[in-house]
Amino acid sequence: MSRVYNFSAGPAVLPEEVLKEAAEEMMDYRGTGMSVMEMSHRSKAYETIIKEAEADLRDLLNIPDNYKVLFLQGGAHLQFAMVPMNLMKNKVADYIVTGMWAKKAHKEAQKFGTANKIATSEDDNFSYIPDCSDLPISEDADYVYICENNTIYGTKFKTLPNTKGKILVSDVSSCFLSEPMDVTKYGIIYGGAQKNIGPAGVVIAIIREDLITEDVLEGTPTMLQYKTHADADSMYNTPPAYGIYICGKVFKWLKKQGGLEAMKEYNEKKAAILYDFLDQSKLFKGTVRKEDRSLMNVPFVTGDADMDAKFVKEATAAGFTNLKGHRSVGGMRASIYNAMPIEGVEKLVEFMKKFEEENA
């Protein structure tokens, strides 16, 4: 067996401990004589799995009792629609557009009402987070929407926008559980699992209870109403059962690492190794304004597309995979999620140094 250092933006690296445990339990999950994949989601064994997953997530994020945790499907993309369908009572929402995912969410919301773009950083290819301390929040906005960590561009909100009392909805797909967050500041937090938590196919939404009502846009399908899933404890229909089981293992792994405070420290240390190198490199440079840099996704370029391609090719051959940047930024991107060990980043930087010397 040989594992690479996988810098994929998602689906992405998972803790080896979790993968090993899942492998051990594959044929016979704890004496049930079957895999979790083969198990009824209504069975006792599975009930324990999903209940524990929720309890551990609540512990990790310190989720207050007046918030529901939902395990959903349809990717983050379906939330682009579910959010307006469930929250747009006045048919008005304000979007802060800091990248491709926020842009797509904003576009989708326009199907359901007036979705205002109240701030954007598109003028500089989304390389920074705009000042959101005093935005023209609409009087009748049902919510204010952000994408908290911009996976493609490598920016992160370090301060939440001043929503002037409006509900904040945040897509945290690529920074979920990378550091502590104050859940009470949000109406909805949601994210796809495949970046920092587990396999693709699971979306986790944390929603303040008073926002879960029957008062949704006319014609909203049953499956797209938060209330349907909240009332049924995420078991209205067959949930993405195996994916939730892996997420649950990752939650336990995170608790073992010391929880989210410890992860934040680890992630800061890890990201600093790469950013410090980029800041002094003569060949590579980061593409993001320093104060807005993400701890999870680190885009960088040489400024020469051929050199970028050469680097990606040689890095791949050396066991550092999925470093090619998104086409809209070009260059490279190293996604260094929770499960990327610090050695992975240290070795990547060593490799970059060597490449820089060879190509000076």
Ligand X SMILES: *Cc1c(COP(=O)(O)O)cnc(C)c1O
- The partner residues of 335 in beta bridges, in order of sequence, read 297
Query: CA-CA distances (angstroms) from residue 76 to 83, 101, 114, 171?
Result: 10, 9, 21, 8
Query: CA-CA distances (angstroms) from residue 52 to 1, 34, 55, 60?
Result: 31, 19, 5, 12
Could you tell me how many residues of this chain bind ligand X (CB under 6 A)? 12
Q: Based on the shown chain and the rule CB under 6 A, indicate whether residue 41 belongs to the binding site for ligand X.
A: no
Tokens of 36: 């979790």
User: Any catalytic annotation for residue 195?
Assistant: yes
56, 68, 94, 101: the catalytic one is: 101
- Residue closer to ligand X by CB (options 54, 171) is 171
Angle, alpha carbons 97-103-104 (nearest 5°): 150
166, 195, 249, 252: the catalytic one is: 195
User: Any catalytic annotation for residue 269?
Assistant: no
Q: How far is the CB of 122 from ligand X (least distance, A)?
A: 16
Spatial neighbors of 81 by CB under 8 A, at least 6 apart, are: 108, 111, 112, 224
Q: Based on the shown chain and the rule CB under 6 A, indicate whether residue 189 belongs to the binding site for ligand X.
A: no
Q: Based on the shown chain and the rule CB under 6 A, indicate whether residue 352 belongs to the binding site for ligand X.
A: no
Q: How far is the CB of 138 from ligand X (least distance, A)?
A: 23
**Using CB under 6 A as the criterion, what x/- string covers residues 72-111 for binding ligand X?**
---xxx-----------------------x----------
Q: Based on the shown chain and the rule CB under 6 A, indicate whether residue 192 belongs to the binding site for ligand X.
A: yes
> What backbone phi and psi angles, to 5 degrees, belong to 290?
-50, -45
Tokens of 293: 């840099």
Instruction: Go through the chain and tell me how many residues it has.
Output: 360
Q: How far is the CB of 134 from ligand X (least distance, A)?
A: 25
Q: How far is the CB of 167 from ligand X (least distance, A)?
A: 19
Q: How far is the CB of 76 from ligand X (least distance, A)?
A: 3
- Residue closer to ligand X by CB (options 204, 349) is 204
Burial pattern 68-92, b for ≥16 Cβ within 10 A else e, equals bbbbbebbbebbbbbbbbbbbeeeb
Q: Based on the shown chain and the rule CB under 6 A, indicate whether residue 171 belongs to the binding site for ligand X.
A: yes
Interface residue list for ligand X (CB under 6 A): 10, 75-77, 101, 147, 151, 171, 173-174, 192, 195
Residues serving a catalytic function are 101, 171, 195
